[in-house]
């Protein structure tokens, strides 16, 4: 009887975990490839003009912010435009410079580059309100239960990662960069949070990818580009960094960390570094075209830019 239970236990474990490992779910990934499955917008249509942020829901719908026509668009799983909302302005549901987008449950969260806060929409693109934020937002993630994580820009002080509740109250915060005095914009970052609540942080102007606990303890730090010093350009007597290291970071359903390289990677804005949760480099692959961001949905489809932002490509991630 016990043997039978053990056997059944193995059987169900294999049933549940098998497809994941067959698809490359373990950390034994050595090679990652992409297979294009959907393309939205292009040279011959007007679906997208300059998309900036992308998010997906559990039903396979794709939500996109478009900076050129100041809109939020909803596409079905087949890529058909279902709805469009927003226009240029500073009123409810309007944008001046739409940037980041995240989806959690029935809610969509969007940022406007120059707005101290996060706009909330429902999945039918109805504007619901705004969550206040104490500073401008550089990165955004929806954590569930109405909580948000945001990376905020620091001017006099270094940038921080804040966890906000649905009313904008700061629940926790930490400063990933090693204190002030590192230069303007040097704390620009993107991040992703794993199921344990730990953060993977990739810096725009530093050759550094790090893992942090939500309490603000750094678990590891890795460099992949061999860059000690980033070139700067003088703009109105300010020395601003001019070469990007890492543009975005995203996690797949197995917990692999996908980091999009910037201008300093071998194929600028196309190389993607795949890491395990300890920061070990498992594989690299190259996007067909440069992208400014990466998004991976719960089914391990990767979304990236093409045609300089008038096209959004959806790829199936192939693991080997």
Partner 1 sequence: MIETGRAGRWARAVVCAAAIFLPAARCGRPGAPRPSPAAGPKSMGWVLVDVESFFCGACLDPLLEFCRAVPARVQEDRLRAILVFGAGPSSEDAEIRARIVKTKWQGFSQANGIRFPALADADRVFRGTLKTGAGILIFAEEARTVRWYPLPLSKERLEEVLRILID
What is the DSSP secondary-structure string of 113-145? Answer: TT-SEEEEEETT--EEEEEE-SS-EEEEEEEET
For residues 202, 208, 214, 217, the Cα torsion angle rounded to the nearest 10 degrees is: -170
In order of 85, 162, 188, 210, 282, the CA distances from 273 in angstroms are 35, 26, 19, 13, 8
Q: How far is the CB of 284 from partner 1 (least distance, A)?
A: 24
Minimum separation from the CB atom of position 40 to partner 1 (A): 13
Query: To the nearest whole angstrom, how small is the minimum distance from the Cβ of residue 102 to partner 1?
Result: 21
* Residue 36: burial class (beta carbons within 10 Å; 0-12, 13-18, 19+): exposed
Which stretches of the chain bind partner 1, using CB under 8 A? 43, 46, 49-50, 66, 68-71, 87-88, 96-97, 113-114, 307-310
Q: What is the dihedral of CA 52, 207, 152, 167, to 10 degrees?
A: 80
Query: Quick one: DSSP state of residue 43?
Result: T
Shortest reach from residue 41's CB to partner 1, in Å = 8
Q: Which is nearer to partner 1, 87 or 299 (CB)?
A: 87
| Cβ nearer to partner 1, comparing 23 with 97 | 97
Q: Minimum distance from CB of 292 to partner 1 (Å)?
A: 10
26 Cβ partners below 8 Å, 6+ apart?
254
Residue 135 vs 227, nearer CB to partner 1 = 135
The nearer residue to partner 1, 113 or 232, going by C-beta atoms, is 113
Query: Which is nearest to 295 in space by CA: 121, 38, 92, 85?
Result: 38
* Residue 97 or 184 with smaller CB distance to partner 1: 97
Which of 254, 263, 286 has the alpha carbon at shortest distance from 273? 286
Q: Which is nearer to partner 1, 27 or 289 (CB)?
A: 289
- In angstroms, what is the minimal distance from the CB of 87 to partner 1? 7
Nearer to partner 1, 138 or 275 (CB): 138
Token pair for 182: 């590192």
Least distance CB 128 / partner 1 (angstroms): 23
Residue among 303, 308, 260, 263 at smallest CA distance from 34? 303
């Amino acid at each position: 009887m016990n043997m039978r239970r053990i056997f059944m236990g193995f059987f169900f474990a294999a049933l549940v975990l098998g497809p994941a490992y067959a698809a490359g779910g373990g950390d034994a990934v050595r090679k990652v490839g992409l297979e294009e499955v959907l393309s939205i917008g292009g040279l011959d249509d007007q679906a997208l003009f300059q998309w900036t942020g992308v998010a997906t829901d559990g039903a396979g719908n794709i939500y996109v912010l478009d900076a050129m026509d100041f809109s939020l668009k909803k596409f079905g799983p087949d890529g058909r435009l279902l709805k469009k909302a927003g226009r240029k302005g500073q009123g409810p549901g309007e944008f001046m410079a739409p940037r980041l987008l995240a989806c959690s449950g029935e809610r969509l969260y969007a940022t406007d580059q120059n707005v101290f806060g996060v706009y909330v929409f429902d999945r039918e693109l109805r504007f619901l309100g705004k969550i206040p934020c104490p500073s401008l937002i550089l990165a955004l993630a929806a954590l569930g239960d109405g909580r948000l994580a945001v990376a905020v820009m620091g001017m006099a002080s270094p940038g921080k990662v804040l966890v906000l509740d649905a009313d904008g109250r700061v629940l926790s915060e930490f400063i990933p960069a090693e204190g002030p005095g590192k230069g303007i914009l040097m704390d620009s970052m993107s991040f992703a949070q794993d199921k344990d609540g730990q953060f993977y942080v990739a810096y725009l102007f530093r050759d550094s990818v790090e893992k942090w606990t939500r309490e603000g303890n750094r678990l590891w730090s890795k460099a992949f580009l061999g860059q000690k010093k980033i070139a700067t350009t003088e703009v109105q007597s300010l020395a601003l960094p001019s070469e990007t290291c890492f543009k975005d970071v995203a996690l797949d359903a197995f917990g692999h960390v996908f980091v999009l390289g910037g201008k300093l990677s071998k194929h600028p804005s196309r190389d993607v570094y795949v890491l395990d949760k300890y920061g070990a480099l498992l594989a690299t692959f190259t996007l067909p075209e440069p992208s400014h961001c990466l998004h991976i949905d719960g089914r391990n489809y990767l979304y990236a830019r093409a045609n300089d932002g008038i096209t959004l490509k959806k790829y199936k991630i192939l693991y080997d």
